[in-house]
Structures are given as C-alpha cells and as structure tokens.
Amino acid sequence: MSLFISQAHAAAEGGTDGSPFSFIFMMVIFAAIFYFMIYRPQAKRTKEHKNLMSSIGKGDEVLTQGGLIGRVTKYTEENDYVQIELNENNVIVIKKDYITAVLPKGTLKSI
C-alpha cells in the first residue's frame, strides 16, 4: 500500500508550470476569433440596417419581418413608427425597426 502512495506523491511533485506568455497568446487568439466570428458580422448587419432605415421615404415599397408587403404612406425622421398601406382599404402602423427590405418599384402591382 505504501508503494502506491509514494508514486502518487512523486507524480504530484513533477508538475510543469506553463509560461505566462502562452496564456496571454491564447487569450489574444480567442479575442481575435470572437471579433472576426461574432462582433464584426453583427456590426456590419447593424450598419446596413441603419443605412436601410435612412434610405426609406414616402412611396417606397417595403417588406416587413412579418412578411407583409406594402407602400410607405407616412414616414417621419423623429418618430419610430411608419404607416404602411397594404392595399386601398388597409393601413397599418409598425415600428421602423421591423422593416426588412426596400423592394423595387412596381412589386405590389406584379403580385
């Protein structure tokens, strides 16, 4: 029995310490992966969506996240809501953030 205890004790004493530079290098690699795989693409999408929101004007045909297609009838810069006409009888008000895309002119007539 004492034979096993001495082997375990000997194995514990022979541990090697890692270099602090290897830990820093590993953290830098993880930070780079995080930046290029998560942060950068999300920032790019956010920037594209802001450009889309600034390019919307009255009369544009838009697609919402819910799948509704309509024409913008009322759009103000200071208000967070847009009035969209789905057809002659239906007008809805949605938040600007829920507009997904601006469609080419004449899309509503072709549907």
User: One digit per residue, pLDDT tens: the chain, 111 residues?
Assistant: 555 555 555 555 554 566 888 889 999 999 999 999 999 999 999 999 999 888 898 999 999 999 999 999 998 888 889 999 999 899 999 999 899 999 999 888 888
Is 4 domain-assigned?
no
Rounded to 5 degrees, φ, ψ at 53 are -65, -35
Residues whose CB is less than 8 angstroms from the CB of residue 44 and which lie 6 or more positions away in sequence, other chains included: none
Is 21 domain-assigned?
no
Query: Which CATH number covers residue 61?
Result: 2.30.30
| Residue-range definition of the domain harbouring residue 66 | 56-110
User: Which residue(s) pair with 32 in the sheet?
Assistant: none
The answer to pTM > 0.85 is no
CA atoms within 13 A on the CB side of 40: 7
